[in-house]
Structure 1
């Protein structure tokens, strides 16, 4: 494997394994870290975070679940699926409490506001905001094309959506976007920096667009051999990790400069990187590839610190809220949690 020294890379220690039977479409920890929620074509699994024991199987969506999002207090889990609905679940009891009609044949994205007062759903061109009791708060004007992603800023005052042609920034309750960030390309991935200053989006056209939301400055990060599927910010908004091939490109940011002239390139994966996740508090970055490999990196080192292995392509990564475990899911339904012992 090019670029990786086995002597400097420790094997990650698995905490537990679970099999949910099919391609893992979403994995997310409850805010307190006691429950791991995982989705595939079948029921949604609620698993004990420490042991992997099954707590509840939620009936999910008839043709599969596409996205999951927890309420900030961990009471409810929202799921979006291929039956055209978003469903809200009481996590402690394992029961459905509300069904939200998406407005299209499937709901691809769901995002609970950090304030806990609204749930955003994206179905085709339709963006809706809901109260936690399941009543509709606002149906935002249809987008010009299919919505490819949703993200709230960290204080819950703004919602961003992406589609072909740019990023839209919304204030809850307003029919028109507060701002629009134009891009003549198809945006397929997005990440809002934790400090709220930057918005990054990977494109179908093999580039990353980054906007400084304070100054409206825009920069295109190019040089990728293929579309940029995943982007992720570190906890201090200092580093942007991007995956557009087998190599991981790491861009450094500062308050006075949008990005360095060239990224640090981290080599290790033999197939395309499909998942990236920075720790919520610490400095570590996890990457997952179609080669089934999971690597842990420090932004200041070119060699990975740790390595884990699945038999199938990685599909999802999620850090525990206290950074003590990393959860990974793959294309054949295998879930693994890894101890953070590097």
Structure 2
């Protein structure tokens, strides 16, 4: 049976993940908590809006209402990488070469490994940023589509148009597809070899969480009473194919998903705090956590896939150990 080590914090958990296999919890009040030989706390921001791991997984990158981009590691020190006063940092992405991208208002910025900064202004507000798998290309989600930049060159950007507000963006691990979540209850995608459109609709709620499976064959998503898992293995991706549905419940919506780093399974978190794990192949499901306080807002596995860290909208956090 899985065992749970609870951590009762106060406030919305924006991001829960392992940094060097140590559980980190980034809260909206700007504090970062970690379970490293006891409970330790760092005040990183005056209001925290977004968090992602550095590409090597050794640091937590965070952006705040204070205009700061910071990194926090196992030493607990929040190191400021950049500050743009009076701007809210609403999106972050990390590239393999050490570059990072962040966004505020109508601009995205790329900070190179040498510390130099390049701004990419847009006509409408920037909602999400993502680097392509090799890190050379940056996707910027915006109103009515996505703009693709080459940050290291002065080449013209590529515009991918689709009407509506696109609020986050992700590349498939094999760089064949680009997918956005939308303000409406839908995903939109493009096959990058020919920019062919892909529509993924039918959600009763907005998709706020997604996760690629270990080999990139599946994209698991929240926003329905089940985890909706789209197939991306074939040449056409999900076009003309029905998604898998795992963990269907009649009384609670899926609020967070996290694919396992080794196996073809996914952790499914719900709006009532419950967590299941489901397997893609035979659709078998196992209960990891009974309902608790608040919706699951973030989940991530450790590198071995033995532990799952989770946070909720009210700070009811913890670590699930599934190793037998």
Q: CA RMSD in A?
A: 2.4
1:18 aligns with 2:2: no
1:191 aligns with 2:170: yes
Q: Pairwise mapping of residues 44-83 of structure 1 onto structure 2 (< 5 A)?
A: 44-48=32-36, 53-54=38-39, 56-62=40-46, 64-83=47-66
For the 8 Å contact 2:209–2:255, the answer to whether it is kept is yes
Choose the corresponding residue for 2:135, options 156, 168, 179: 156
Q: Which residue of 1 aligns with 2:69?
A: 86
CA gap of 1:291–1:161, structure 2 versus 1, over 3 A, is same
1:254 aligns with 2:237: no
Aligned residues: 320
Structure 2 portions without partners, runs of 5+:
none
Choose the corresponding residue for 2:278, options 283, 297, 317: 297
Aligned-partner Cα distance in 2 for 1:302–1:320:
22
Aligned-partner Cα distance in 1 for 2:139–2:283:
33
CA gap of 1:306–1:175, structure 2 versus 1, over 3 A, is farther
CA gap of 1:256–1:77, structure 2 versus 1, over 3 A, is closer
1:273 aligns with 2:258: no
For the 8 Å contact 2:137–2:151, the answer to whether it is kept is yes
My pick for the range that moved more, 173-182 or 244-253, is 173-182
For the 8 Å contact 2:191–2:236, the answer to whether it is kept is no
Aligned-partner Cα distance in 2 for 1:269–1:301:
21
**C-alpha displacement at 1:175, in angstroms?**
5.4
For the 8 Å contact 1:168–1:181, the answer to whether it is kept is yes
Aligned-partner Cα distance in 2 for 1:92–1:261:
44
Aligned-partner Cα distance in 1 for 2:149–2:45:
28
Aligned-partner Cα distance in 1 for 2:269–2:250:
8
Aligned-partner Cα distance in 2 for 1:72–1:201:
21
My pick for the range that moved more, 258-267 or 323-332, is 258-267
4+ residue segments displaced more than 6 Å: none
Aligned-partner Cα distance in 2 for 1:99–1:256:
40
